[in-house]
Amino acid sequence: MSGNGWAISAHGLTKHYDKLVAVDHVDMSVANGSVFGLLGPNGAGKTTIIKVLTGLSDITEGSASVAGFDVTKDPMHVKQRVGWVAAEVILDDDLSGWENLWLQAKLQRLGDWKERADRLLDYFELSDRRKDRVGTYSTGMRKKMEIALALLHQPEIIFMDEPTIGLDPNVRRMLWDLITGVNKQFGVTVFLTTHYMEEADALCGRVAIIDHGKFVAVGTPSELKSRVKEDFIEIETSEPVTVDKLQAIPGVSNVRSQGNTWILRVSSAEVVLPEIFRALQTDGIRRINVEKPSLETVFIDITGKRLDQSGGDVQDYRKFYMNLRRARR
């Protein structure tokens, strides 16, 4: 464990890719033994933060310390103390589960790892498939194998990049249980990124909301949710509507537009909805969506947009093509 009680700390952390500012002066402290979530849309800079904290990518400006070691000055010591679970599940499909563990042990320079590997395979219920090539594993098994690899060298911190992206609800639920179990049973600090609100809410002790490379809010899920006590109503109409008309509706405290969609901040959706229908009856309401206070409404409140409508830059392309290649393979 790192000495000062922080598994990760960063000051003014900044990463540029040519002219693109992927991470913009981020400060953070993640306590030992906690589960910290980085919540944000695709392309917000979540993966880049993992890359710079694990020494995979250089820091442009600022500093970061992971497991008590400076990421820039001492990356090899950081790498001995962190595990990594990729968004797209990266294993060597030509090797068996046991061979993947063997390779991980070699790369982490472990001298005595077989007993721990055996127990990890037992824990993740993979023992009976240990000799099979991981290319034949199901998606859930591959994810579990990846977490076993990440835990083999007894890391202090596990970085999980969108651990449940693209998984069906059952596998996602199983992974949530596993992530909680890994944190509690093995005392490992978990740093995860996600763009699923419910995931951050269910798993994380603390959450940072990131947008365009900046932390826009940090706190426990309940602290963040308490920032926004009002409901949000999202409306799409077939006819143009003016801001004044929407602001005049009783109970509407704030109006923002996002393309053809309006986002109204209201005291109580139940009370205001009939007023909206009355006011907009001639404007052709095409779609209406109500958000009760949640991390989603916090995100809308801070950024003025929904999580699933944000972002979309270079990182998205990379992930998309990575998944496409995997599917073709």
Partner 1 sequence: MSTATESVTLPATVVRLGDGRVGQMTQFYGLYARELVKTFRNPWVIVITLVQPFMWLAFFGGMLSQVPSSELDQFLLHAPPGTGYLSFLLPGVLSTGMLAIGMFGAMSTIQDKRFGFMKRILITPTSKATVYLSKALGSATRGLVQIPVMMAAALAFGVTLHGNALGWLASISGLVLLGVGFSAFFLAITASSTDWQTPGVISNFITMPLMFASGAMFPTSIYPKWMQDIASVNPVGFSAQLSRDVMTYGQFSGSDLTYLAYLAAFAVLMIAVGTALASRYLKVE
Minimum distance from residue 17 beta carbon to partner 1 (Å): 12
Question: Cα–Cα–Cα angle for 260, 264, 266, nearest 5°?
Answer: 165
Nearer to partner 1, 80 or 254 (CB): 80
Q: Which residue has the tokens 């206070």?
A: 293
Instruction: Pick the closer one to partner 1 by CB: 181 or 284.
Output: 181
Ramachandran sector of residue 267 (left: φ over 0; alpha: ψ -120 to 50; beta: rest): alpha
Residues that bind partner 1 (CB under 8 A): 54-57, 76-77, 79-80, 82, 84, 86, 88, 90-92, 94-95, 99, 102-113, 115-116, 119-120, 122-125, 152-154, 173-174, 177-178, 180-182, 185-186, 318, 322, 325-326, 329
Q: Smallest gap, in angstroms, from Cβ of residue 150 to partner 1?
A: 9
**Tokens in use for 57?**
């990518």
Nearer to partner 1, 103 or 249 (CB): 103
Dihedral (CA of 226, 228, 229, 231) sign: negative
Q: How far is the CB of 148 from partner 1 (least distance, A)?
A: 11
Strands 61-66 and 261-266, bridge-based pairing: unpaired
Sheet with 261-266: strands ordered across: 252-258, 261-266, 231-237, 285-291
The letter for the amino acid at 221 is P
Nearer to partner 1, 96 or 303 (CB): 96
Phi–psi pair at 321, nearest 5 degrees: -70, -30
Q: Which is nearer to partner 1, 154 or 261 (CB)?
A: 154
Closest CB 73 distance from partner 1, rounded Å: 14
Complex with partner 1: residue 112 or 244, whichever CB lies closer: 112
Non-local (6+) Cβ contacts of 45 within 8 A are 15, 22, 23, 24, 210, 212, 213
Nearest C-alpha neighbor of 36 from the set 166, 158, 155, 145: 158
If the CB atoms of residues 27 and 122 are measured against partner 1, the closer one turns out to be: 122
DSSP assigned state of 96: B
Report, in Å, the least distance between residue 121 CB and partner 1.
11
Which of helix, strand or coil describes residue 291? strand
CB of 56 to partner 1, least distance (A): 6
Residue with Cβ nearer partner 1 (248 or 314): 314
Task: List, edge to edge, every strand of the sheet that includes 6-17.
Answer: 20-31, 6-17, 61-66, 69-70
Q: Smallest distance, Å, CB 84 to partner 1?
A: 5
Q: Which residue lies nearer to partner 1 by CB, 187 or 284?
A: 187
Phi, psi values for residue 172, rounded to 5°: -60, -45
Max CA distance (Å), the chain:
74
Closest approach, Cβ 30 to partner 1, in A, equals 18
Q: How far is the CB of 115 from partner 1 (least distance, A)?
A: 5
